[in-house]
Amino acid sequence: MYKLLTMLMTVATAAAAGEVDRPAALAALQNPGTVLIDVRTAPEHAQGALPGAVRIETADLAQRIALVAPAKDTPIALYCRSGRRSSAAQDLLLEMGYTQVINAGAYEQLREHLPSR
């Protein structure tokens, strides 16, 4: 029974992973303990970034995440240019055991809805 429940929870998490959930991200960002991560490249980040965001490209995330979110239950919101890289980053963090990871989607759309932090 335990194995079945674990498998169902894994499938449910995998199905939800990757999808942009801007309302959940905006709600999470109301909590000062939420880590906001920009997974865009340095040139993209130089064109503008959200206040308080830490830039870690998806390729470097596995090596650097513990520096900004050592606890696996840290709320994390991810964004990129379109939502695709933040989706991949979300999947990676979930595979690593992080439990509160939200794909906030595209920088431009998130910026429109986010008050100054």
**Can you give the CATH number for the domain in which 22 is found?**
3.40.250.10
84: domain range? 2-113
Number of domains in the chain: 1
Residues with a known catalytic role: 80
Higher pLDDT, residue 5 or 44: 44
Give, in order, the Cα–Cα distances in Å from 76 to each of 26, 100, 113: 11, 6, 17
* Per-residue pLDDT at 115: 67
Instruction: Give the chain's mean pLDDT.
Output: 87
The reported pTM is 0.83
Task: Find the mean pLDDT for residues 90-109.
Answer: 97
Task: Find the mean pLDDT for residues 50-64.
Answer: 96
Task: Find the mean pLDDT for residues 52-76.
Answer: 97
